[in-house]
Chain A
Amino acid sequence: MANPDVAKLETIAREGRVEILRMITHAGSGHPGGSLSVIDILADLYFNRLRLDPARPQWEDRDRFILSKGHCVPAQYYCMAKRGFFPMDRVITLRKLGSPLQGHPDRVALPGIEAATGSLGQGISVAVGMALGLKLAGKAARVYCVLGDGETQEGQVWESLMSAPKLGGPDHHLDNLCVILDYNGIQLDGFVKKILDLEPITEKLKAFAWAVLEVNGHDIAQVDKALDQAEANKGVPTFIVAHTVKGKGVSFMENDPEWHGKAPKPEEAVRAIREVVGEPVPQWAQPIIAELSALGKK
């Protein structure tokens, strides 16, 4: 949206990084690397883009957001809590028995989640279906889907990439669909380039008839501008290649495949949070550091 308050969004993303580290540390398992790479994108979506009403999570005219790379749901849980879907303190129930904050998104358990994801490759298919469904229903709502780069190796992703620009014509082209690739370059077993390189990804998507944009996925102003452009694109869905850094914001996690799916120990989390917020530690972060320090002494 025009003239986003980038400083405010950056502050939200910074707090998001802290809460991501907090909840994964409490859970004792999870995926910090990809949650930290996607949080700036989600901050812009949730706080400057998505038309949602936390009081009416099933509101028919809401925009839909699907995190196809469902393992990075801690970033989404933070954004949902911050927007008022549930109290922030509930994030530390992540992955605990009885919590709606499942290890991967659960649509039925947690209102505000649009589709169960985590079995990679599926979320984008559902997003395409929602975009089509909204068009057929004459709704102006938009559909946003965040795809992982490792996930993009799934055959099902390419079924959707092939069909989305073709579906709905002549009256219902899916220009209400925007897919964002969180291109952090690392998957569970190592570097995407070494396992199964996606390149040349922009050329591939262009050949499939998507409108393709490239941004630095940590530059919120750039992300926001690209989302504006996506809304302006008519007749075609938009694919944004967002170049990101896995583990972004924590020096010892950045670009290290080790942190794809490993929870930090409490003392590591405290070190990471101190790095994210800087010195002196702002007042809001102090209780979290105290809480995690206490957790480490248990």
Chain B
Amino acid sequence: MAGKASRAAFGEALLELGAKDERIVTVDADLSKSTMTGGFGKKFPDRHFNVGIAESGMIGLAAGLALTGHVPFACSFACFLVGRFETIRVSVAYSDAPVKLVGTHVGVAIGEDGYTQMGLEDMACLRALPNIPILQPADEIETRQAVAYAVEHPGPIYLRLTRQGLEPVHEASYRFRFGKADVLRPGHDVTVLATGGTVWYALEAAKALAAEGIQAEVVNVGTVKPLDEETILRSAGRTGHVVTVEDHSISGGLGSAVAEMLAELMPTPLKRIGVTTFGESGDMKGLYAKHGLDAAGITAAVRKFLRR
């Protein structure tokens, strides 16, 4: 992978935004080298707080900072951050404290470290809270703009970021719009909704499918919550078949959100691709092949789904 990891793009964006906006502070729990806030800490040591390996305290601290006028980015691996769900639930969500929650190292893509370090249930947990939007950018340019949006968003918000590098999927002219999905490749046979690091694989799969005569419409769902119902329904109405792809548990993430929405508004045949087991150690390539998240897996799933 040649592209930049979304965590790295986040770290760079934060440096730029932090230079213009003194309200921005970062809070970490001993993972700032991994969440990429270390650069911010070097440049703005007075606005960078490391509470030690104490994520619950970190989230509460961030809520207090947010409620005294600052714009805190509270960062950790997604599993450790959202693992302290109860503190997010009460001190951030219910108190409506505008904390910017940043979960990195999402999905089986992190590979060798194995399941305990993989953020696989974070979207499922946070989707259950009524006031925390979920952003999962697919490449560097989207990440930078999503971070800038998060600063301006009036309430709490969650950014879901990857450890691995991401190939660009957007043109330089791309403009992030909160709550909007963007059609990256038009097609009329099947709608493929992907998010985060899987978007590039969905595009690769669409190329392979096109060679077989299947025209897949690939949609990047950068905002998983609130879901862009309009764009998804328009595409699904045309293709009549929807596939979701995410490096997250098959339960509670993008696929679930889409299933819920389609079932209520426009029942449409749906195939969800996601992680159905615990994760495990291994190389990313092998893991993506095993979980059907790579281009070959997505291609095969779409082919089978369309019975072609």
- Across the interface, A125 reaches (CB within 8 A) one of B46, B59, B68, namely B59
- For B47, B67, B89, B96, which residue has the most chain A Cβ atoms within 10 angstroms? B67
Q: How large is the interface on A (under 10, 10 to 19, 20 to 34, 35 or more residues)?
A: 35 or more
Residue in contact with A163 in the complex, picked from B51, B62, B70, B91, CB distance below 8 Å: B51
14 A-B pairs with CB atoms under 8 Å apart are A108-B94, A116-B90, A119-B89, A122-B87, A126-B67, A128-B57, A129-B66, A129-B72, A130-B65, A132-B65, A133-B64, A136-B65, A139-B68, A163-B57
A116-B95, A136-B25, A160-B57 are contacts. A125–B90 as well, Cβ < 8 Å?
Answer: no
A40 interface residue (CB < 8 Å to B): no
Contact with B along A75-113 (1 / 0, CB 8 A): 000000000000000000000000000000011100000
* Cβ-based interface call for A202 (8 A): no
Would you list which residues of chain B between 36 and 85 have a CB under 8 Å from chain A? Answer: 46-47, 49, 51-52, 54, 56-57, 59-70, 72
Q: Known contacts being A107-B95, A125-B91, A167-B49, is A60 close to B60, with CB within 8 Å?
A: no
Q: Using an 8 Å CB-CB cutoff, how does the interface string of A114-153 with B read, 1 for contact, 0 for none? A: 1111110111111111111110110100000000000000
A123 contact set on B, CB distance < 8 A: 60
Q: Is A155 located at the chain interface by the 8 A CB criterion? A: yes
> For residue B96, which residues in chain A have a CB less than 8 angstroms away from its CB?
107-108
Asked if B56 contacts A163 (CB within 8 A), the reply is: no
With an 8 A cutoff between CB atoms, is A203 at the interface? no
Residue of A108, A133, A171 ringed by the most chain B CB atoms within 10 A: A133
A92 CB → nearest B CB, Å: 24
Answer yes or no: B260 CB below 8 A from chain A CBs: no
Do B56 and A121 have beta carbons less than 8 Å apart? yes
Known A116-B90, A156-B87; contact A129-B69, beta-carbon cutoff 8 A: no
A115 touches B67 (CB 8 A): yes
Give the 6 A-B CB pairs with smallest separation, nearest first: A129-B64, A125-B60, A133-B68, A159-B57, A159-B54, A129-B61
Known: A115-B91, A126-B60, A163-B51. 8 other contacts (CB 8 A): A114-B67, A125-B61, A128-B60, A129-B61, A129-B65, A132-B49, A159-B52, A167-B61
Contacts of A139 in B (CB 8 A): 68
Q: Which residue of A lies closest to B25 (CB)?
A: A136
Q: Judge whether B112 is part of the interface by a CB distance below 8 angstroms.
A: no
**A163 and B52 contacting across the interface, CB-CB below 8 Å:** yes
